[in-house]
Structure 1
Amino acid sequence: MSTADEMEPISRPFRWNLLFAAWLMASVATLGALFFSEVMQRTPCVLCWYQRIFMFPLVFVLGAGLLPFDPRSVRYALPLAVTGWGFALYHCLLYMGFIPKSLQPCTQGLSCADVKLELFSFVTIPLLSLLAFTLIIALLWAVRKGIKQ
Structure 2
Amino acid sequence: MDFIIVSLGSLYFSEIMHFVPCALYWYQRIFMFPLAIILGVAVFKDGISAYRYALPLSIMDMFISGYHTMIQKVPYFQEFEMCTSGVPCSTDYINWLGFITIPILALVAFSIITVSLFILLFKKDSLSN
Same fold at TM > 0.5: yes
Unaligned regions of 5+ residues in structure 1, if any? 1-23
2:105 aligns with 128
2:114 aligns with 137
Deviation, structure 1 residue 99: 4.1
**What is the aligned length?**
125
Partner deviation per Cα, 1:21-59 (whole Å, 9 max, x = no partner): xxx101101100100000000011111111111111111
Q: How does 1:1-149 map to 2 (within 5 A)?
A: 24-146=1-123
TM normalised by structure 2 equals: 0.91
Q: Which consecutive aligned stretches of 4+ in structure 1 deviate over 4 angstroms post-superposition?
A: none
The answer to which of 125-134 and 92-101 deviates more is 92-101
Deviation, structure 1 residue 119: 1.4
Q: Quote the Cα distance in structure 1 between the aligned partners of 2:17 and 2:33.
A: 19
**Structure with greater proportional helix content:** 2
Question: What's the % identity of the aligned pairs?
Answer: 35
TM normalised by structure 1 equals: 0.79
Unaligned regions of 5+ residues in structure 2, if any? none
Q: Quote the Cα distance in structure 2 between the aligned partners of 1:25 and 1:99.
A: 31
Deviation, structure 1 residue 123: 0.5
RMSD of aligned alpha carbons: 1.4
Higher relative contact order (CA 8 A, sep 6+): 1
- What letter matches 1:72 in structure 2? S
- What letter matches 2:87 in structure 1? L
